[in-house]
Amino acid sequence: MSPLMSIYRMLFDAFGPQGWWPGDSPFEVAVGAILTQNTNWQNVNRAIKNLKDAHCLSPRTLYEIPEGELAILIKPSGYFNIKAVRLKAFVAFIINQYDGSLMNMVAEDTESLRNKLLSVRGIGMETADSILLYALNKPVFVIDAYTKRILSRHGIISEGAGYQECQALFHQQLVHEVPLFNEYHALFVKLGKHYCKSKPQCNGCPLQGQRF
């Protein structure tokens, strides 16, 4: 079994299924992916609740609401001025190129779709891949700060490894299945939140002392 598959087994045995992504619709998932950039999920939830309460959680309503009003609604998620611009760019993209519906993306080739998402201001690799995996069910592995930290601490990647390099490892070592990629990334976040912080709390960590 590949090292990354071994790690997956250990994490799944320790934590069980994570039930990601929290969200009622693919569009909500995509909005959450932008709002959660460098931000605690709890704060994102508050912002999403504000959008729901204001009946603004659709491409069309987000497209039409003034940027300043949008910024106020998403304030709890932090970086609210920047994220308002980013959400605006994203819904303009959906409306102009996909007739206002995220689901019109699913038929498209994953690689070209990823490149188009990356061309939207405010959507980088992690956000694009989160949208592809969690909103559109494409088998793309999501790399984040936790993933890199955990892998480098266990000697699997170097500390300065890049996103693509890291992602390639997962794509090489795992079968490309959406449920596996979905659960695995969520398990890394779980592990990172509880144990593999900037100050490691290795006591009780299911990967404690493991080399791969």
Could you tell me if 128 and 86 are in contact, meaning their C-beta atoms sit under 8 angstroms apart?
no
Query: Binding to DNA by residue 189, rule CB under 7 A?
Result: yes
Least distance to DNA, CB of residue 86, Å? 7
DSSP secondary structure, 193-212, as one string: HHT-SSS---TT-TTTT---
Q: Give the nearest distance from C-beta 4 to DNA in angstroms.
A: 19
Query: Quick check: 93 binds DNA (CB under 7 A)?
Result: no
Q: Which of 56, 65, 123, 207 binds DNA (CB under 7 A)?
A: 123
Token duo for residue 202: 């290795």
What's the closest the beta carbon of residue 93 comes to DNA, in angstroms?
12
- Selection from 48, 12, 32 nearest residue 186 by Cα: 12
Residues in 29-88 at the binding interface with DNA, rule: CB under 7 A: 32-33, 36-43, 46, 75-76, 78-83
Contacts of 108 (CB under 8 A, 6+ apart): none
Should residue 202 be labelled a site residue for DNA when binding is judged by CB under 7 A? no
| CA nearest neighbour of 131 among 212, 58, 17, 34 | 34
Nearer to DNA, 6 or 43 (CB): 43
74, 80 contact by CB (below 8 A): yes
Cα torsion 62, 64, 65, 66: sign: positive
Q: Is 112 among the residues that bind DNA (CB under 7 A)?
A: no
User: Please, which residue, 144 or 183, has the CB nearer to DNA?
Assistant: 144
Shortest CB 1 distance to DNA, Å: 27
Please count the other Cβ atoms lying within 10 Å of the Cβ belonging to residue 139.
17
For binding to DNA (CB under 7 A), which residues are involved? 20-22, 32-33, 36-43, 46, 75-76, 78-83, 120-128, 130, 134, 144-146, 160, 162, 189, 192-193, 197-199
